[in-house]
Structure 1
Amino acid sequence: MKNILVPTDFSNNAYNALFYITQLLKDTHCTFHILNCYDGRTKVLTKKGGEPNEKELPYALRVDSKEGLVKTKHRIVLDTGYEKHSFESISKKGDLIKTVEKLIKDLQIDLVVMGNKGITGAKDIFLGSNTTKVIHAGLACPVLTVPKEIDFKIPKNLALVTDYKNCISAEQMATIIEIAGISEATIRVMHINEKERLDKFETSNMNTLTKYLEEIDHSFHWMPKFSSKTEAIQLFLEELEIDMLIMFHSEHSLMEKIFGEPVIKKITFDIELPFLVINLPK
């Protein structure tokens, strides 16, 4: 991974995501592109403490964005100081998703990293609205979300949750393999046992995944079917002391099914773990 995009709203949660990824990649040569997107709905105060009027707003938003980026860059350099890292600041007016999509293409971004809740994030939701939008946008690169309250520790146990219904390419596995290699981690592949046996297509996909993991310490696990998939995943994460959750995302993926479960079933899906989403082509 050479180019990392880290959107920020200058919240503690956003900064924690930036700090986490710098720690994870501390021995890797890479550039962190710190992005702040703003529009007319972004809250900003004048130097006098009041809200700017309509004429002052565009200028105030631009200044607030650039000043926030300067402070963030200064803070992360002081907090880390790794010689292999460089930081670039990007201030953009406009829609977050469209901006992220364009930057992924223009800067050849390898990974997008975000806090899992923004500056107004409620405590009772798993992912904040902006983070959810970014994940569901089906970006051309993986997305890593990081909880606010966690202290960094090297992820030694990675949970890859799959239903084997998608044929995964080596390119789509690359980020997972790289993180596992950097961390000298074990990948725990989890499958929810919804039927007695896999069909031919699912078996082929499992065999392909096995080949990708040949040089990585790994294990395969079959979880019994619960009334809620989130309940099964939650139990697995706790029992195996997982440090990072990984899922594939596409229109009809297991992850989409989980997001589509009734609120009463997924209310406990409050995972305080880094969550890596690998987007699959539509």
Structure 2
Amino acid sequence: MKKKILLPTDFSQNAWNAIEYATELYKNETCDFYILNAFNASGYALESMMVPEPGEKLYEEAKEKSEQGLSKILERLSFRNDEREHKFFMVSQFNGLLDAIKDIVDKQDIEMIIMGTKGSSNAVDVIFGSNTVMVMEKSRNCPVMAIPEDATYKDLEEIVFPTDYKMNFKRRELQNIIEVAKMSKAAIRVLYASDGDPLSEEQENNQNLLKEYFEGLTYTFHTLTNLDAPSAVRCFVESRESDMIAFFNRKHSFFGSIFSKPMVKSLGRYAKVPVLAIHDLRG
């Protein structure tokens, strides 16, 4: 079955790196890739409170720049001589990034967003750019995979899945992790940062649910004691040279604590691996 993947770009090197990573990850799949550039008319007098319309100089200049950038990406992709069943659709949209993403996700029934972790500003102290974190948090009807600037694709061997076992996952909510694991033949390493207390009955039940859902895949359970969640993830990923981290992003929860400042820095400075954010589908 054909997959539909959205690749937002601001024409930075990091965004191109994310495109390359995505095409490698899905190299054996039939895919439609939608490469999106959301543009605006920079320099437009904000105090006028008017939005430039098609035909106006600033709008047309911004649109042309966006379309030229997308043409260059398509040209780079066309140089590949391989037999992959990949189609590329270039989308230039006058809109804010999040609204443009939501529009394409809805219209094209996108099942995964893959984007770079930094924008074109590439500030050294910003690990996950504000746009990436915003899309991870707000695009709740579609999983988001963030690709660090230094990540080059290699076949996935293991995906780290941190959890506190306090939520009874639904199978469909884990479908994206399961699909990526199947597609890449990667093992899933379930990681629990423990305070030393034994698992409660509820936590044990939720662990058993994961065993049920991951049946047929390679998976193992791991516990690190007396470390906070970000430190546990960092130590585990670094020591094992894991290939991907998958977070379950339920509202106001574990994910938010990991990616809020200064937590994002404690993970981010060591995050050379892609991060997959999957969402709570229960509203």
TM-score scaled by length of structure 2: 0.89
The CA distance in 1 between the partners of 2:102 and 2:116, in whole Å, is 18
Q: Post-superposition shift, 1:81? A: 4.0
Are the aligned partners of 1:162 and 1:189 in contact in 2 as well (CA < 8 Å)? Answer: yes
The CA distance in 1 between the partners of 2:7 and 2:168, in whole Å, is 29
**Quick check: 31-40 or 123-132, which moved more?**
123-132
> Against the structure 1 CA distance between its residues 181 and 86, is the aligned structure 2 distance closer, same or farther, given a 3 Å change threshold?
same
> Against the structure 1 CA distance between its residues 77 and 174, is the aligned structure 2 distance closer, same or farther, given a 3 Å change threshold?
farther
- 1:9-34 C-alpha deviation (Å, 9 max, x unpaired): 01110011011010011110010000
The CA distance in 1 between the partners of 2:30 and 2:136, in whole Å, is 26
Are the aligned partners of 1:13 and 1:117 in contact in 2 as well (CA < 8 Å)? Answer: yes
- 1:191-231 C-alpha deviation (Å, 9 max, x unpaired): 111351223332222111111111001100011122x4322
Match for 1:76: what amino acid?
A: L
Secondary structure in 1 matching 2:74: helix
- 1:63-102 C-alpha deviation (Å, 9 max, x unpaired): 0111111111121232464431000011100111112112
CA RMSD, Structure 1 to Structure 2 (Å)? 2.0
Are the aligned partners of 2:102 and 2:139 in contact in 1 as well (CA < 8 Å)? Answer: no
Aligned residues: 269
Match for 2:98: what amino acid?
A: I
Unaligned runs of 5+ in 1: 44-54
> Could you tell me which residue of structure 2 aligns to residue 63 of structure 1?
64
> Could you tell me which residue of structure 1 aligns to residue 275 of structure 2?
275
Q: Post-superposition shift, 1:181? A: 1.2
Are the aligned partners of 2:113 and 2:145 in contact in 1 as well (CA < 8 Å)? Answer: yes
The CA distance in 1 between the partners of 2:279 and 2:38, in whole Å, is 22
Are the aligned partners of 1:181 and 1:216 in contact in 2 as well (CA < 8 Å)? Answer: yes
Secondary structure in 2 matching 1:203: helix
Are the aligned partners of 2:98 and 2:135 in contact in 1 as well (CA < 8 Å)? Answer: yes
Pair 1:122 & 2:120 matched: no
The CA distance in 2 between the partners of 1:195 and 1:126, in whole Å, is 31
The CA distance in 1 between the partners of 2:232 and 2:81, in whole Å, is 37
**Quick check: 178-187 or 265-274, which moved more?**
265-274
Q: Post-superposition shift, 1:4? A: 0.1
The CA distance in 2 between the partners of 1:42 and 1:87, in whole Å, is 31
> Could you tell me which residue of structure 2 aligns to residue 40 of structure 1?
41
Match for 1:9: what amino acid?
A: D
Unaligned runs of 5+ in 2: 45-55
Runs ≥4 residues deviating over 4 A = none
Q: Percent of counterpart pairs with the same letter?
A: 31
Are the aligned partners of 2:98 and 2:139 in contact in 1 as well (CA < 8 Å)? Answer: no
The CA distance in 1 between the partners of 2:194 and 2:30, in whole Å, is 41
Secondary structure in 2 matching 1:267: helix
Match for 1:258: what amino acid?
A: I
> Against the structure 1 CA distance between its residues 77 and 172, is the aligned structure 2 distance closer, same or farther, given a 3 Å change threshold?
farther
The CA distance in 2 between the partners of 1:88 and 1:95, in whole Å, is 19
Match for 2:278: what amino acid?
A: I
- 1:118-177 C-alpha deviation (Å, 9 max, x unpaired): 111212222011111101104211100111222210111110111122222222211111
The CA distance in 1 between the partners of 2:43 and 2:221, in whole Å, is 46
> Could you tell me which residue of structure 2 aligns to residue 106 of structure 1?
107
The CA distance in 2 between the partners of 1:103 and 1:199, in whole Å, is 42
Match for 2:217: what amino acid?
A: I
> Against the structure 1 CA distance between its residues 126 and 63, is the aligned structure 2 distance closer, same or farther, given a 3 Å change threshold?
same
> Could you tell me which residue of structure 1 aligns to residue 230 of structure 2?
230
The CA distance in 2 between the partners of 1:223 and 1:133, in whole Å, is 30
Match for 2:61: what amino acid?
A: A
> Against the structure 1 CA distance between its residues 32 and 197, is the aligned structure 2 distance closer, same or farther, given a 3 Å change threshold?
same
> Against the structure 1 CA distance between its residues 66 and 266, is the aligned structure 2 distance closer, same or farther, given a 3 Å change threshold?
closer
> Against the structure 1 CA distance between its residues 80 and 114, is the aligned structure 2 distance closer, same or farther, given a 3 Å change threshold?
farther
Are the aligned partners of 1:101 and 1:139 in contact in 2 as well (CA < 8 Å)? Answer: no
The CA distance in 1 between the partners of 2:108 and 2:217, in whole Å, is 30
